[in-house]
Amino acid sequence: MGLQGKTVLITGAARGIGRACAVRVAEEGADVVLTDIADDQPEIPYSLGTAEQLEQTAELCRENGASVLLAAVDVRSPSAVQSAVSAAVDRFGRIDVLINNAGIGAPAGKATHDFTEDEWRVVLDVNLSGPWRVITAVAPVMVAQQSGSIINVASTAGLVGYRYFAGYVASKHGLIGLTKSAALDYAPLNIRVNALCPGPVRDDPAVDGHMTAVVADALGISFEEQVAVDLESVPTKSLVDPADVAGAAVWLAGDDSRKVTGTVITVDAGFSAR
């Protein structure tokens, strides 16, 4: 129960890594504020997390004793982000941890010059400007508390390039830069900012995982072919589970990592060691 008494806000909590993180922090004693867009968007070429999936995440957290606040939030909307943060403070009085997990994997699947302005914009707006918007809303709460941990979920795409994913790669590289700069801004105030870089993550049905399928669709190959490519890319020959990423997030959220800030932690089955 290493997070007993803490309040954790998680974006993109309806499924995947977001749900895994939510359940783990609930198991560790935290109360949770769970947000997701909970609606499909015409400019994003796959189905997004739903209100039903967000409620399922909430129920799993309640089963572990957590108090839960839900909010439908598009991280492209400053007003929606601020409303959720205000509601969290009204309900719990504080926000101790932010897990900036909301993100999209497509539009993708084409050479850099083939992306349209709108395709480029939406990926950067969600994956880079979105986390910045949430930080701008949460940071004043943490500054007033003189404490907090901000965890940005980036990707190994923030460390290397990936063919046909220029927008996604650029957004995740940018998120790591944001992490390091924000860490310096808030270090004197006892607020830590770190990034997690998952490698190829298994589409775990227990958390409604879907990103391998999104990548396969973007590249025009089968799900099985993409899994084979992912397995070949990791020295362990086993994919990352969402629970593996959640475990690292719990450590960054807790007091055992109190001297860790401005760093990037890979959870990638050895992918980045090559």
**Among residues 46, 162, 164, 168, which one is catalytic?**
168
> 259, 253, 261, 204: which is closest to 26 by C-alpha?
253
CB 98 within 8 Å of CB 134: yes
β-sheet bridge partners, residue 192? 149
Question: How many residues are recorded in the chain?
Answer: 274
CB 10 within 8 Å of CB 261: no
> 232, 41, 178: which is closest to 119 by C-alpha?
41
Task: Report CA dihedral (50, 55, 23, 39) to the nearest 10 degrees.
Answer: 20
Q: Could you please report the per-residue DSSP string of 126-183? A: IIIIHHHHHHHHHHHHHHHHT-EEEEEE--GGGTS--TT-HHHHHHHHHHHHHHHHHH
Rounded Cα distance between 158 and 189, Å, is 27
Residue for token digits 């006892």?
Answer: 190
168 is catalytic: yes
Rounded Cα distance between 224 and 241, Å, is 17
Task: Report CA dihedral (155, 30, 253, 34) to the nearest 10 degrees.
Answer: 30
What b/e string do you get for 13-37 counting C-beta neighbours within 10 Å, with b at 16 or more? bbbbbbbbbbbbbbbbebbbbbbbb
Query: Which residues are known to be catalytic?
Result: 168
